[in-house]
Amino acid sequence: MNKETIIQKTLQTLNKLPQEKAEEVADFADYILKKYEEQNLQKGIYKLVEDSAAFHFLHEEEDLYNINDVQIP
């Protein structure tokens, strides 16, 4: 099913619901949209940091510790 078909089906269903239930669906759709936007924003920030040269020096740093340094009590 493509997006336009989903939208039309959802609108038909919403038209059958009482107003209070339609408002609940609208609130839920707003919640999903905000969550989606926050995830995209977070991915964008991660990408900016990852591509930034600000922490480039960490890639050139030698490893100070290795698995042999781990001590289990």
Mean pLDDT of 20-25: 96
Q: What is the 3-state secondary structure (H, E, C) of 2-21?
A: CHHHHHHHHHHHHHHCCHHH
Q: From residue 15, how far is each of 2, 26, 60, 70 by CA, in Å?
A: 20, 12, 61, 63
Task: Provide the pLDDT confidence category of residue 18 given band limits of 50, 70 and 90.
Answer: very high
pLDDT tens, position by position, 24-34: 999 999 999 99
